A and B are shown apart, each in its own frame.
Chain A
Amino acid sequence: MMRSITTAQAMNEALAEEMRRDPAVYVVGLGLYPSAGESATSGLVDEFGELRVRSAPMSETAIAGSAVGAALVGMRPVAELHLADFAFNALDEILSKSGKWRYTHGGNDGMKLPIVFLEGIGGYVAGASEHSQSPLALYWHFPGLKIAVPATPYDAKGLLKTAVRDDNPVMFFTHKLGAPGPVPDDEYVVPFGEAVVRRPGADVTVVATSYMVVLSMEAAANLADQGVDVEVIDPRTLEPLDIETIVASVVKTGRLVVVDEDTERCGVGAEIGAQVMERAFTALRAPVGRVANPNLPVPYSPPLEQAVLPSITSIETAILATLTN
C-alpha cells in the first residue's frame, strides 16, 4: 500500500522505525518538544522519552559536538541542526571532529562515527541571505562526510534509514519546499550512491538534486512540447556519487546541464562537470552548462530572489544553449 505523505512525515517515520530497531539511536536538537508544527522529530518524545529525544540548549556547537562524542562511545546520534545557515556555527565539529576524526586517528581500535546531521536548505521563501542557503558544495569539498540530498518523501525516508545505519557521518539535507509524495507502508531503505533517472530523454542530460529536481522536471516538460527530449538524473547522494549513471547518460545525449541552488563558484556543477569531462570528454558535443546562484547572497524581495536563484526559465535557457552550441 502507498500513501501520500510529506517529507517531514516520511523522516519522522524513518526516525521512529530506526529508534525502535536500535536503542543506540537518539535525536538531539534545539526545541524538539513541545514541537511546534509538523517536523521530522515531532511526537518522538512521547514514545522514546527525553533522554533519546534531547532538547538541547541553543548551541549548534553543543548539538553537533555532543553527537560526535556520543558516537565515539557507541551511540548513533541524529543531530537536528534545523537550517544549514545555523549549522555554520558547528563547522569545526562537523568538518573536523566528525569528517576527519577517524582518519586523523588512523581508524584507532575500529573507531566509528555514525552520526546524521539534519540540515534544512533552500530559498524561494523570502528568507534572505541567512535563512536560504544550500551549501552542499561546502560539505562535499571536505573529506570524510557522506551527503544525502533527497528530492522526494520516498527518498527522504529510505535515505534517512540508510544514513542512520551508516557507520560514518552523513549530512542529510532537506529542502524547505517539497510536495507530499507516495511512500509505501512497508519498510524499505534507499541505498547511497544510486542515482535515479527521473525522466528518460535522448537530447540533453540534466543533473539536479533536491528541489532542483522539481524545477528541472517542469523545465523538461515545457521543452518536450518544443520537441526537446531531456533526461533528468537525480543522484540522491553526492557522496558517494553515482557518476556511472551520469556518464552513461551523457554518452547517450552528448550534452550536460547541472542545476544547483548553491552559489556557482567551486560548486556542484563545477565538480560534476569536471568529472564528466575527465571520463567522457569525447562524448560531449557542447560545453557543460551550469544553472546556479551567480555567487550572490540570496536577497529577500521576491523579484530579487527570483533573479538570483535557479528558475524553470533559467534551466530551459541553459538546456537550449547546449543544443545551439
Chain B
Amino acid sequence: MTLTAVEKQALYIAMVRSRAFEEAAGALAASGDIPASWLSGIGQEGTLGAIVQLRADDYLTITHRGAYGFIGRGSDPRRLLAELLGKKAGYCKGKGGRHIADLEHGILGKSGTVGGHAPLAIGVGTAIQNWGGDQVVLSLFGEGTSNRGTTHASMNTAAVWQLPVVWVCENNGYVGNVPASVYTATPDIADMAASYGMPGEVVDGNDALAVHDAARRAIVRARSGSGPSLLELKTYRIRPFAESATDVRDPAEAVAWRDRDPVAGLRDRLLESGELTLADAEAVTAAAREEMAAAAAYARESPFPDPAAAFEDLYA
C-alpha cells in the first residue's frame, strides 16, 4: 500500500513540527527556563513514520528522548512546554517535567527508568486482548535499553500471549558517549526477535517512508491478532545525550548523518515527486516555528503551581 500525497504531506508536517518543538525546547533548556535538561530527539524524527499511522484509539509508550511521540499523537505543544518549565498548565501540573502522560492521546506516561515502559506495554496489550479490541500498542525503546531484563521479559510475554504490541527500537548507535557495540552483544537488535518467535526487521530509521512501510506491516499483524513484531530503526542522535551533556563523539559522524537528515530527506523526495512545492515546504516550516515560539511564550508566561499543590494527586 503506497501513501497518498496527502498522507505524505501530513507525515512531513508532523516531522517539521516535531523538529521545531525540539528546537524550542533546546532553546528553553539553554536559557535555563527548563530547570532540568532536555534530551533532544533531533535526527530521529523518522520514527514518526510509525507513529503517525496509529489510530486515535491506539496506544504509544515513549522513551526519555525527543517529543515526536507527543507531537505525532496530537498533544498540545503549549502544555508540553509548560510541563517542561514546571508550570501549572503543564500536562502533569508541573509534577512530572520530562515525565509526561497524555492519556487522551493514548500516551500512558513516562518512566524515569529506561526500560520501564515495556512491561506497561504488555499490560495495555492484555487489556486490548481481554476486551476483544483491535487496537495496538506501539512501544519505543533505545538500543541501550535493550540491555534491560524488562525489555526481554516483556518481549517474551508479548510473544507467548500473542499480544498486539509493536516493539520499535530506535538504535541511535550510542548510550551517552559510549558506542552501542560496547554494551550490546549483537549489532542488530532486530535479531533478538528470533528468540521470541516474532518477526524482526532492520529499517533505515532516517527514511520516514521506509519506517512507515515496515511499521504498517507490523501494525496490521498486531491488529489482526497475529502477535508482536520488532522493528529496529537505525538512526543517529544529532544533539548530545542531553542538552547539558558534553558530546565527545567524532564530529565527522554528525556531519555525515546530517546529510541524511530525516526531515530534509522527506522534503527533498516530496519536492522531487511533485507532492510538495517549495513554497508549501517553506510555509510548513514557518508555521511550525511560529506555533512553537507561541507555545514557548505561553509556557514562559504561565504561572507556577501553588506550593500547596504538592500535596495533591497522590491517590485517586
Contacts and interface: CB of A to CB of B under 8 A. Distances in A.
Interface stretch (A68-76, A150-158, A287-295, A307-315): A68-76
Nearest to A90: B119
B123 A68 contact: yes
B154 interface: yes
Contacts of B149: 59, 61
Contact of B122 (A52, A62, A75, A92): A62
Contacts of A96: 111-113, 116
Interface of A: 26, 28, 51-52, 54, 56-57, 59, 61-62, 64-75, 77, 92-93, 96-97, 101-114, 143-144, 167-168
Nearest to B121: A69
Interface string B68-91: 000000000000000000000011
6 tightest Cβ-Cβ pairs between the two chains A and B: A65-B119, A69-B123, A106-B92, A69-B120, A66-B123, A106-B93
Contacts of A144: 314-315
B130 A51 contact: yes
A103 B112 CA distance: 13
Given A54-B126, A101-B109, A65 B92 contact: no
Task: Name the residue in B91, B94, B113, B153 with the highest tally of chain A Cβ atoms < 10 Å from its Cβ.
Answer: B153
A106 B157 contact: no
A113 B316 CA distance: 8
Given A59-B157, A74-B127, A144-B314, A104 B95 contact: yes
A167 B316 CA distance: 6
A72 B123 CA distance: 9
A67 B109 CA distance: 15
Given A73-B128, A105-B101, A109-B101, 14 more contacts: A65-B120, A65-B123, A69-B123, A69-B127, A70-B126, A70-B127, A70-B130, A72-B108, A75-B130, A97-B116, A105-B99, A107-B313, A108-B91, A113-B316
B129 interface: yes
A111 B316 CA distance: 7
Contacts of B102: 108-109
B210 to A, nearest CB: 29
Interface string B128-164: 1110000000000000000001100110110011000
B315 A69 contact: no
B313 A68 contact: no
Given A72-B103, A106-B92, A54 B161 contact: yes
Contacts of B20: none
A69 B90 contact: no
Contacts, number: 154
A154 B41 CA distance: 54
A106 B113 CA distance: 18
Nearest to B160: A57
B119 A73 contact: no
Interface of B: 59, 90-96, 99-104, 108-109, 111-113, 116, 118-130, 149-150, 153-154, 156-157, 160-161, 312-316
B156 A59 contact: yes
Given A54-B161, A106-B91, A167-B316, A97 B111 contact: yes
Contacts of B118: 65
16 contacts: A26-B126, A57-B160, A62-B122, A65-B119, A65-B120, A66-B157, A69-B127, A70-B130, A75-B123, A92-B150, A96-B116, A102-B316, A104-B109, A105-B92, A106-B93, A109-B102
Contacts of A28: 126
Contacts of A26: 126, 130
A58 B90 CA distance: 39
B196 to A, nearest CB: 11
A104 B156 contact: no
Task: Name the residue in A54, A108, A144 with the highest tally of chain B Cβ atoms < 10 Å from its Cβ.
Answer: A108
Contacts of B316: 102, 107, 110-114, 167-168
A112 B128 CA distance: 17
Contacts of A62: 119, 122, 153-154, 156-157
B109 A72 contact: yes
Contacts of B128: 73
A239 to B, nearest CB: 10
A62 B151 CA distance: 9
A170 B246 CA distance: 43
Nearest to A64: B119
A59 B126 contact: no
B85 to A, nearest CB: 14
A15 to B, nearest CB: 16
Contacts of A103: 95, 313-314
A69 B315 CA distance: 17
A313 B163 CA distance: 54
A28 B127 CA distance: 12
A68 B123 CA distance: 7
Contacts of A73: 59, 108, 123-124, 127-128
A61 B113 contact: no
Nearest to B148: A61
A52 B130 CA distance: 7
A172 B121 CA distance: 24
B123 A67 contact: yes
